[in-house]
Amino acid sequence: MSIRQIIDWAIEDSRSQMTGTIVSPFYEYSDYGGHWVWACDVDLGENLGVLRCVPVAANNRELIYAEQGRAVTLSRLNNGKWVITGLAKSLNSTVHYIFMSFTDDTYQVLRKQLRGYIIRPLTYGELGTLVVPYGYGVLPYGAQGKFDAEGNFLEIVETY
């Protein structure tokens, strides 16, 4: 652990805004104070993963319409919790990875890779073909799937 790392963490911790993508339908849940609030799951990108039960900030007139796949901005409250505060114009997307190796005096680029994923509802066709050989009926309509940057299916996403 270096001072630089500690500073990086501090900078990361002090971030007060992020963008994410809605990856679930909206639902109601009871927060710590026992209040029923509207919330959804938000995908924060490759490294941060999916943040569950993110409430929609109250009295936000900007947020008129948001469904799955929409980019939203998240703001951090004083107590450290994140809330959805508006619609974002940018959307987290795919990441190019370039793997390099370094020796004493030289470096080289070993390979490049496209990473990233999207979460979306499974199509009718996918509902029928993903769970071989059972076909339709195993996966409920509306089940969410996670797909890599090339569009290959990765996994079913658990939803609340």
Partner 1 sequence: MRNISAALENIILGGGTRRPDYKVYAWDPAEATISEVVSANGILDDPAPVDLTPYVSDVSWSDRQLTFALVDPAGLFHPDFGELRHCLKDGAILRLLEGDETVPEVDWAITFTGQVHGQIGWKQSRSTGQITSRLTVFGRGETQAYKRRKITSQEYTVGTDIGIALYDICKTFLGLTGKEMRIPFTLGRQFKHKTNQLAQVTPWDGVCSLLKVVCYQPFFDGEGKLSYVNKSLHRPAARLFEDGDRIKELEVPECSQDTVNKVTVTFLDSQLERVDGPYQKLGQAQVTTGFFSMHETLETWWSEDRKQRADGTSMKVIKSVNSGILPVGSEHYTQLDEFHGQIEVEISVWVPILATVMIAEYLAAAFIPDDVIVLGFGASEGITIPVGRIIQAQAMIGILLIMMSIGSAQYEVWGTPYDFAYLEKKSVAVEDGLDYWLENNLDIKNDFIGTHDQADIIAMTELSWQKCLSMPRKVSVADDPRLEVGDIIGLPDGRKLVISALSKNIKRGEIPTLLIEGCKVLTA
Task: Write out the residues near partner 1 by the rule CB under 8 A.
Answer: 2-5, 8, 19, 64-65, 67-71, 88-102, 105-110, 112, 120-121
Minimum distance between the CB of residue 125 and partner 1, rounded to whole angstroms?
Answer: 14
Q: How far apart, in Å, are the Cα atoms of 26 and each of 23, 116, 120?
A: 9, 24, 14
Minimum distance between the CB of residue 81 and partner 1, rounded to whole angstroms?
Answer: 23
126 phi/psi in degrees, rounded to 5: -70, -35
Nearer to partner 1, 58 or 64 (CB): 64
CB half-sphere exposure, 144, CA atoms < 13 A: 18
Nearer to partner 1, 81 or 91 (CB): 91
Rounded distance, CA 4 to CA 94, Å? Answer: 27
Minimum distance between the CB of residue 123 and partner 1, rounded to whole angstroms?
Answer: 10
